[in-house]
Chain A
Amino acid sequence: MNGSGPGGASEVDAALARYLSQLGRMGEQLKQTSKQIEDSVVGVCNSFQGIASRAQATVTRASGFLGDGGQSTPDKQSFEGLIEACSGTLVKILNTTIEAGDVSRRAIERIEEMDKASQQISEALRQLDQITNSNRMLAFNARIEAAHAGTAGMGFAVVAVELAAATVKSRSVTAHVGELALNLRSLAHSTLQDLRNMNEKDSERVGQCRQEVDESLRDLQTAHSEMAAMLNGMTAEGALLATDIGSAVRGLQFQDRTSQRIAHVVSDLDTLCARLKMHAVDVAPGAAPADEGFSAYTMQEEREVAGLGEAEASAGDVELF
């Protein structure tokens, strides 16, 4: 290529220099494009990683809060644990109220027994009063008999007088005890009435409380079930998200293939430039064949494009030896 004249060596050299410069720029542009695509795919991958991690963290937090549906001892901080704790406390309160009702019922029974005892005391006092009356009559008759006996009956008359005085005292004491017994019965009756009223109201309140507690627990259980269903939905969505990300990851691998192809093209461009610089592409005697020194085409698709053979394995194929 050392000829001269029109269209001679100097013009060819100048054109060649321009083409070489352009080829060099094209190679650089391809490399930059390849790097930019790779950077953007790495960015997308990082985003996927973030999305997947956040989705996983959300489901884990929600699961922790809700508990595992009774499959193990619920965490005290979980919703399930709170329901169980709340339920336990409410049952304790109910049981305490029921126990209080039992205590007041037992108090009523004891006061009723005390009332019976005071009735028996009144009956005993009535009998004692009869005996006192008999003694009084006896003392009265003794005094008459002593008067009839005259002097001989004087000692007997003293005894009769003392007996009459004792019966008066005895009557006074029994009357006092009778009053006390009456007061006691009156107090017992009013206390009984109060206790019965309270017990009746307590029974009503316990019934209402039990109903309200049952309703509240049912509401809590319903809320828990709804939240658990929502969590299941989130888990299912998470699985779909994982599948979508999997598909996207597979799709994004185009970049790796594109980068490899660009690298092969750039390599071939470099070889071509080197050959052109040597002015030895076609003319030098003993020069290498035109395609020698170019890339080995390591990708199946490139071989297919170049007509160098059929595909022997498809994308995604797995073979274990």
Chain B
Amino acid sequence: MKKVLIVDDSVSMRQMVSFTLREGGFEVIEAEHGQDALDKLQGASVDLVITDLNMPVMDGITLIQNLRNQPAMKTKPILMLTTEGLAGKKEQGKAAGATGWIVKPFDPEKLLQTVAKVLP
């Protein structure tokens, strides 16, 4: 079973993404911000990360930059799931190493399709 890390400061968003992915047959780990995600990835491995952009403690862009510096996460897909749709922000995400950008609110079926596309 593929493992996905969901990073979002909103409990309800984490719940909805987790629910959608679990129904799609994935194992899910949750983190409430970038630093929490890095802590949870210590000694653990995931197949995909889905992260919000604006979060307290550590935002999504910084998280991606940190993850891309880790050998185990260099080639793993990382999707951004955010209310932000500005081209400039997207460029920042792309430059940091994001694999894709999904604008909230997400469509559960579309999210699963996107996840299937980016997972090897």
- A residues at B contact (CB < 8 Å): 38, 41-42, 45-46, 48-49, 52, 242, 245-246, 249-257, 259-260, 298-300, 311-321
Q: In the complex, which residue of chain B has the Cβ closest to the Cβ of A317?
A: B103
With both chains docked as a complex, state the minimum distance between the C-beta of A259 and any C-beta of chain B, in angstroms.
Answer: 7
**Once the chains bind, are A253 and B19 in contact (CB under 8 Å)?**
no
CA distance A214 to B94 in the complex (A): 69
Smallest Cβ-Cβ distance to A316: which chain B residue: B107
Residues of chain B whose beta carbon lies under 8 Å from any beta carbon of chain A: 10-13, 15-16, 19-20, 22-23, 53-54, 83-87, 90, 94, 98-110, 114, 117-118
Residue in B13, B84, B114 whose beta carbon sits within 8 Å of that of A253 in the complex: B13
**How distant is the Cα of A254 from the Cα of B105 in the complex, in angstroms?**
7
Pairwise interchain contact B100-A319, C-beta atoms closer than 8 A? yes
Q: What distance in Å separates the Cβ of A167 from its nearest Cβ neighbour in chain B?
A: 105
B15 contact set on A, CB distance < 8 A: 41-42, 45-46
Known: A42-B12, A319-B100. A260 touches B83 (CB 8 A): yes
Q: How many A-B residue pairs have CB under 8 A?
A: 110
Contact indicator B83/A321 (Cβ below 8 Å):
no
Cα distance, A167 to B25, chains bound together (Å): 105
Contact of A316 among B13, B98, B100, B105 (CB under 8 A): B105
Are A318 and B110 in touch, CB under 8 angstroms? yes
- Determine whether the beta carbon of A246 is less than 8 Å from that of B101: no
State whether B106 touches A321 (Cβ < 8 A).
no
Given contacts A249-B20, A320-B117, contact A314 B103 (CB under 8 A): yes
Chain B residues near A314 (CB-CB < 8 A): 85, 103
Q: Which residue of chain A is the closest to B106 with respect to CB atoms?
A: A316
